[in-house]
Chain A
Amino acid sequence: MPKVKLSGAEIVVEELKDEGAEVAFGIPGGVLLDLYDTLYKDDALRHILMRHEQCAAHAADGYARVSGKTGVCIATSGPGATNLVTGLANASMDSAPVVALTGQVVTSAIGTNAFQEASTFTITMPVTKHNFLVTRTKDLPKVIHNAFYVANTGRKGVVLIDLPKDVLAGKATVNLHPKETFAGYKPNIKPNLVQTKKAAEVLANAERPLILAGGGIISAEATEELRHLVELLGTGVVTTLMGKGAISEHHPFCLGMAGMHGHLCANKAINECDALLALGTRFSDRLTGWLLDQFAPDATMIHVDIDAAEINKNMPVDIPIVGDVKLALSDMIKWLEKKKKLGDKSVWLQRIKEMHSACEECIHDVRREGTSISDSVIKEISLILDGDAIVTTEVGQCQMFAAHYYMTREPRTFISSGGLGTMGFGFPAAIGAKVAAPDKKVVDIAGDGSFLMTCQDLATCVENDIPVVVCILDNRYLGMVRQWQELFYDKAYAHTGLGLTPDFVKLAEAFGCYGERVEKPEDLKDAFNNAFESGKPSVIDVIVGKDDKILPMIPPGGGVIGMIGTERCKHV
């Protein structure tokens, strides 16, 4: 590559394109005028103007989770950057690859409390995998290349680049597209063969092995290998929230999501198994509950993760395997295929299959006795979309109803804020999802409280023709908190009533969107048809009960076999 003389802003745009970035979600500001001037003159990189920086980060996050590519967001210095922080923390917690560019005051003014100065570098350090404060224009090629490299390798994550105004405006003679990386960053990807063999032996001999699939399976594109192993072994599989979609939830060996709001049968299987193969999961407390002695007490624990720091962090394991889960699975499959005979697992598989059918029947029975309207709404949506859509969620009961009752078929089609639990995530994430997959239907399963946190970006959808559907479970409450107040705080409903929430249909119309109210779950099908056919961004406001509860659940202090509200799961 010959040397070229370019402005910092030009270098940034050239390098973004070289890294394969196609779209950036952002909002400009004073210190970013040079960057935006360059973006404006270059058609190769699409920019989508958001209405809040938090949404820019969530949209980049949603884009990344759906496409597997690195999402890009841009914010100006000071308030722009601080507004990004929630979105960055959210993406970091769920290991989504995102590169954030922030403007900064000129280098000579840093530390003077200049107008719109915030120490973005120090503020964002704990919510990023890595971050840079660039002080010389000539450093930009290496910084940007490495930002993308770090974001989308190893355990994926967020990298932020803070760009002072003079670094963007100044010129430098540089070699573009460097390949040089950092000596201290060597993502360890090859699993140890001795360990994978040991794991395969344990699984082969176990009578009741169980596979626990986390988000790492999706992130590593290892879903084919997962299905292959499950079938080869002839055993059950459960997922985490982040792992939803790692295997079709219609697969007869799949018991769906485990954990605090998971399926009773999935939690039971975890408790009963004699070998647990945990893949790309960090054993969050929302999966394990609080009583670790109920979590696979009789099992030989095998844990595969790309991040060595996750091994033995939350869960003591017997066979640790550090490395790419796709490679680890291929290795294990190879070992198992060499074996002539596997230990007999037929009794266990029979039980798994029975639990699967009973659970699927329960989920498809929309108006099963004793269920709430919210249950039926999600069951209905699950039937309407039939896995052929991307579903994002807000946070609260709406999210857990969706996680519990919405059945996925494919990876990267269920996008939810797992680690941070960020209200307001689902809608901007849906925007990113629709940009990544314009031909797919994209539906945000929302709560009324959550949606009000980021609904201003309906304007972005209208302006940029991004027709996502927001389906609100309208209970006029911060429902999940209310549920805890009802169950564990003597029904003292402290500040969870939302009172007179806005007329969401009119709100949609005010933005130029399609809006429709649904009072009965059976009317959802028409509403969805109308929304999709309108071709517009849409809001479907579904009236649900304030007393609806997402059950069963692991109560505070409980473990995987201490679920409450299991009356409806008699089949297990």
Chain B
Amino acid sequence: MQTRIISLLVEDHPGVLTRMSGMFTMRGINIMSLTVSPCEKDGLSRMTVAIKGTESELEKVRKQISNLIEVVKVVDLMQEEPIIRDLSLLKVHVKDSKARSEVMQLAESYSAKIVDATLDSVTLELTEEPKRIDRFVDLMKHFGLKQLFRTGITAIGTASGTDK
């Protein structure tokens, strides 16, 4: 099993997301993360899909995605030395001032931002590679993680630069 990140340029109109997710369901593939956002071109959106599977399963899915008519372009980001990011918001419980300072120190060493604080909690923002976020989340669990929000993966290739 491996993770693959596929970046898609798709037409920006209703139903595209349903069609995409329906295709994954139909082919028995589990989506780990899927993000949709506007991109540099009018009328198109960018989707970043992370899926887990064997090499051949992933190859089959890539071809099925390419067959969808609203998909204008498919890029297998693993071929392009991608920069991968995930944005997380964590609300961490701090029971006393000792806990508060420990959380703040750890946040600093991970370059997480403090975006809010209450008497018994600190809210942190960390934009990072998913794996580093996983580690940070594990650390924060020691203090008591009240809430965790993650956006899912977005990624960009470093190879050629622009979409033709």
Contact = CB atoms under 8 A, between A and B. Distances in A.
A414 to B, nearest CB: 28
A125 B60 contact: no
A311 B67 CA distance: 13
A184 interface: yes
B56 A312 contact: yes
* Interface range, A side: 10 to 19
A182 B70 CA distance: 8
Interface stretch (B14-22, B45-53, B83-91, B97-105): B14-22
Nearest to A154: B67
A185 B60 contact: no
A129 B23 CA distance: 11
Interface in B105-128: none
Interface string B30-71: 000000000000000000000000001001100110111111
A309 B18 contact: no
Given A184-B11, A184-B68, A125 B22 contact: yes
Nearest to A181: B69
B63 A126 contact: no
A52 B19 CA distance: 28
A313 interface: yes
A1 interface: no
B19 A184 contact: no
B159 interface: no
A265 B59 CA distance: 35
Contact of B15 (A126, A133, A150, A311): A133
A185 B73 CA distance: 10
A308 interface: yes
B78 interface: no
Contact of B63 (A122, A182, A183, A308): A308
A125 B69 contact: no
B67 A183 contact: no
A312 B72 contact: no
Nearest to A188: B66
B59 A125 contact: no
A125 B18 contact: yes
A305 B47 CA distance: 28
Highest count of chain B CB atoms <10 Å: which of A126, A183, A307, A308: A183
Nearest to A183: B72
B33 to A, nearest CB: 22
Contacts of B66: 308-309
B74 to A, nearest CB: 10
B1 interface: no
B22 A126 contact: yes
A184 B59 contact: no
A47 interface: no
A251 interface: no
A126 B26 contact: yes
Given A130-B69, A184-B70, A184-B71, A312 B18 contact: no
A313 B60 contact: yes
A121 interface: yes
B69 A309 contact: no
Given A182-B70, A185-B69, A312 B59 contact: yes
B151 to A, nearest CB: 26
B60 A309 contact: yes
A184 B15 contact: no
Contacts of B68: 184
- Residue of A130, A184, A307, A313 contacting most chain B CB atoms (<10 Å): A184
A185 B15 CA distance: 17
25 contacts: A122-B18, A125-B15, A125-B18, A125-B19, A125-B22, A126-B22, A126-B26, A133-B14, A182-B11, A182-B69, A182-B70, A183-B11, A184-B11, A184-B68, A184-B70, A184-B71, A184-B72, A185-B69, A308-B66, A309-B63, A309-B66, A309-B67, A312-B59, A312-B60, A313-B60
Interface of B: 10-11, 14-15, 18-19, 22, 26, 56, 59-60, 63-64, 66-73
Instruction: Rank and list the top 7 A-B pairs by shortest CB-CB distance, nearest first.
Output: A309-B63, A184-B72, A185-B69, A130-B69, A183-B72, A184-B71, A308-B63
